[in-house]
Amino acid sequence: MRSKTPIFQKMATAMASFSTLHHLSFSLFSNPSLSLRPFRSFPRIINCSRSSLSSSSSSSSPSTSSLQFNISFAPPKPKPKPPMSDQLLDPDDLSSDQLIIPWIVRGEDGNLKLQMHPPARLLHAMANAETEKKKNKKKDKSLDKVSPEPKYSKAARRFFNENFKKPEQRLSKVLAATGVASRRNSEELIFEGKVTVNGSVCKAPQTRVDPARDVIYVNGNRLPKKQPPKVYFALNKPKGYICSSGDVESKSVLCLFDEYLKSWGKKYPGPPKPRLFTVGRLDVATTGLIIVTNDGDCAQRLSHPSSNLTKEYIAAIDGIVTKRHLFAISEGTVIEGIHCTPDSVELLPRQTDISRPRLRIVVHDGRKHEVRELVKSAGLEIHSLKRVRIGGFRLPSDLG
């Protein structure tokens, strides 16, 4: 019997606690002030003690012996005021502990006012600036990813070098083409040790170089990688000009191109100015067609006797020209130890505005003063001499 006593005590304690919870729930739902409403949470219980339970149980009727709680509620939290967007701010209403940054904005009515949030235009500009920065970052990342250069096979590189790549040229020729000096003067500069190629002094004019890849210095000045383009001019040489650029005292035909060379940088930015020279020569008193270029190969083909280019001259003669004179000119004469004969000699018909007789003489040798020597050997004197054709190039009639 003693062993069963604690079990009965535990059962009695559990029944007492169940009855206490039953009376508590009955008192809560029976009080109309504490009636529950839908969609509303219970208020927070601040103080609930055992003494309150005992006092409530003593004050209740003995029949029910219910317990009552001493419940107190926390004060309601103040609701936040809505932001004053378009209303004017009153400095007296602002509390000292609240940080407010006012914005001065001109309203639609044209008056200035204070508002708490920044203007819409500023917010819109900041948003656009952020998006533009993100776009730029994306672009920068895309630029960093550079595709590697394609690798070509040896056969493809050999085919390109043999068919499309410009061959290397002699050093003296490159200097002359770039406008440093003539080919002969360029060779003298090379012999004097004033030209360096890739950091070393080069004294061989026949050295093969590529100005696009090799670093060439002349008298301490870097030779440009780009060479000037090839240009060709047909010049109607006036009387009193020489066909050489070396003599400073006399007037050269190259002085007629000064204005053209001054405007070269505006017309063709990048490549240097070309070094012009004449193809062949005409003496000071002779006028007419002469070709000016910077292409040495073309000048060599045009001026060399192996090209067999004919040159046509019109000579105005002082005095009377007879058949005997024509036969004497056609038989030729000896010039510098070589017998030279013209291709054709013709007496042109007289013109009303020209009183002197004119001869049309065609030669192909190109010896020095060849036409003058042929006319002189026939016993005639030339008043004026003009060249009108070189091979297939004829002097335009409207060229001043």
pLDDT, mean over the chain: 76
Nearest of 96, 114, 93 to residue 105 by alpha carbon: 114
pLDDT band at 80 (very low <50, low <70, confident <90, very high): low
Percent of the chain with pLDDT over 70: 68
pLDDT higher than 50, residue 221:
yes
pLDDT in tens, 244-303: 776 565 788 888 888 888 888 888 887 888 888 898 889 889 999 999 998 888 888 888
Does domain 228-307 sit in CATH 3.30.70.580? yes
- The per-residue pLDDT for 35 is 44
Q: In sequence order, what E strands does the chain have?
A: 103-106, 112-115, 169-170, 195-197, 200-201, 208-209, 216-218, 221-222, 232-237, 277-279, 287-293, 311-318, 333-335, 338-340, 344-347, 358-363, 381-390, 393-394
pLDDT higher than 50, residue 349:
yes
Q: Please indicate whether the domains covering 228-307 and 308-399 agree at the CATH topology level.
A: yes
pLDDT higher than 60, residue 144:
no
Q: What is the mean pLDDT of residues 134-161?
A: 67
Query: Can 258 be counted among the known catalytic residues?
Result: no
Percent of the chain with pLDDT over 90: 18
Domain ranges of the chain: 167-222, 228-307, 308-399
pTM for the model stands at 0.55
- The per-residue pLDDT for 315 is 93
- The per-residue pLDDT for 117 is 76
User: First vs last Cα of the chain: how many Å apart?
Assistant: 151
DSSP character string of 153-205: PHHHHHHHHHHTSPPPEEHHHHHHHHTSS-HHHHHHHHHTT-EEETTEE---T
Q: Residues 86, 283, 318, 343: which is the catalytic one?
A: 283
Task: Judge whether 203 and 323 are in contact, CB under 8 Å.
Answer: no
pLDDT in tens, 37-46: 444 444 444 4
The tokens for 14 are 């559990």
d(CA 95, CA 116): 14
Does domain 308-399 sit in CATH 3.40.1020.10? no
Does domain 167-222 sit in CATH 1.10.150.120? no
